[in-house]
């Protein structure tokens, strides 16, 4: 919070932080529910997603994002909702006008043998966000794995 910042500016910052938290929640809801159209809409038209070893997965734009997700189904993502889920915690959000950055830790859990949860990977999200048409969206989301699957 900047010294001398108006009450209106402080309230706007809080509303923006809450809207970005909701975006982070919507991301997990869409991904885990296999709502790939909804997932792609969380990105700006030119949005990027980067993951995999050394950024080997790098797509740009909603069509490429949809194609990536479809290609991951049954391989890097569960086939149907409920087979896997993401947990994201410890978010840190920094607002700068119509732009923002965020970081958080993610844990990818899959349905293991005997329906026992099995932690598959742990990593971090590094996000660049932009307000587009009054709505916060991902401009770039990086999801490197700190502890990859074996």
CATH topology of domain 7-147: Nuclear Transport Factor 2; Chain: A, (3.10.450)
* pTM for this prediction: 0.91
Quote the pLDDT of residue 2: 64
- Max Cα separation, the chain? 58
Percent of the chain with pLDDT over 90: 78
88 — pLDDT class (breaks 50, 70, 90): very high
d(CA 104, CA 144): 11
Mean pLDDT of the chain: 92
Q: Is 72 exposed, middle or buried (0-12, 13-18, 19+ CB in 10 A)?
A: middle
Q: Residue ranges per domain, the chain?
A: 7-147
Quote the pLDDT of residue 78: 84
- Express each pLDDT in 32-56 by its tens digit: 999 999 999 999 999 999 998 788 8
Quote the pLDDT of residue 4: 83
The full 3-state SS of 51-114, as one line of letters, equals ECHHHCEEEECHHHHHHHHHHHECCCECCCCCCEEEEEEEEEEEEECCEEEEEEEEEEEEECHH
Quote the pLDDT of residue 5: 86
Bigger pLDDT: 99 or 54? 99
């Amino acid at each position: 919070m900047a010294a001398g910042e108006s009450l209106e500016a402080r309230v706007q910052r809080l509303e923006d932080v809450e809207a970005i938290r909701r975006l982070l929640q919507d991301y997990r809801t869409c991904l885990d529910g296999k709502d790939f159209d909804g997932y792609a809409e969380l990105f700006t038209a030119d949005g990027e997603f980067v993951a995999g070893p050394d950024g080997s997965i790098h797509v740009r734009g909603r069509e490429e994002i949809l194609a990536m997700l479809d290609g991951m189904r049954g391989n890097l993502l569960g086939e149907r909702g409920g087979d896997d889920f993401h947990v994201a915690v410890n978010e840190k959000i920094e607002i700068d006008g119509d732009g923002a950055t965020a970081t958080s830790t993610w844990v990818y859990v899959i349905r293991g043998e005997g329906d026992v949860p099995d932690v598959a990977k742990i990593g971090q999200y590094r996000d660049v966000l932009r307000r587009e048409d009054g709505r916060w969206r991902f401009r770039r989301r990086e999801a490197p794995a700190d502890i990859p699957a074996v």
